[in-house]
Homo-oligomer: A and B are copies of this chain.
């Protein structure tokens, strides 16, 4: 994959957000990262202040507690911007790592350099705002689910929302996404099977 091909999928994504990005004006150096299944793009605690774009593959955002328990915050499928808005914007350490669930291809720019160029482009800003609205809404809906719904309901909602992931990723990662242990998820599935049978 050369630079042009990478830019094409980047462009398609911005188009979908209603923006015709003008790559000619962008002189910031771009890095390319190839991540094998299971490997990390960056780890929790790193200074990951880059704008990453997932060209191909599937990743999860994984956050580990002081007691060493893993929690999956997000699954992200290409094409999509990935990374930590917080770490990008506030230059703090990132609260989660990004792990590839399939071999993945990612390009990246230093956020400060990228934004310094793009902030003068009104089309980009509108599109960036749209992106932020979108990720905020997802977080808000998730908060809502955590607070109002049982683990069983969250599992059913997950299956409805991600039918393609439901059978293609390990169950323990689904469990860690809905905020329970693999053992508890297995119990819930057992219960559901009885109910349906």
Contacts from A to B (Cβ < 8 Å)? 63, 65-66, 71, 73, 85-86, 89-90, 95, 119-120, 122, 125-126, 128-129, 132-133, 135-137, 139-144, 146-149, 179
Contact = CB atoms under 8 A, between A and B. Distances in A.
Copies in the assembly, this chain = 2
A108 to B, nearest CB: 19
Interface-centre pick from A66, A85, A148 (highest chain B CB count, 10 A): A148
Contacts of A133: 85, 89, 132
Contacts of A86: 136-137, 140-141
A126 B125 CA distance: 7
B125 A85 contact: no
Given A73-B143, A89-B137, 6 more contacts: A65-B148, A95-B144, A119-B126, A142-B143, A146-B146, A147-B179
Contacts of A90: 137
Nearest to A95: B144
Give the 3 A-B CB pairs with smallest separation, nearest first. Answer: A132-B132, A125-B125, A65-B148
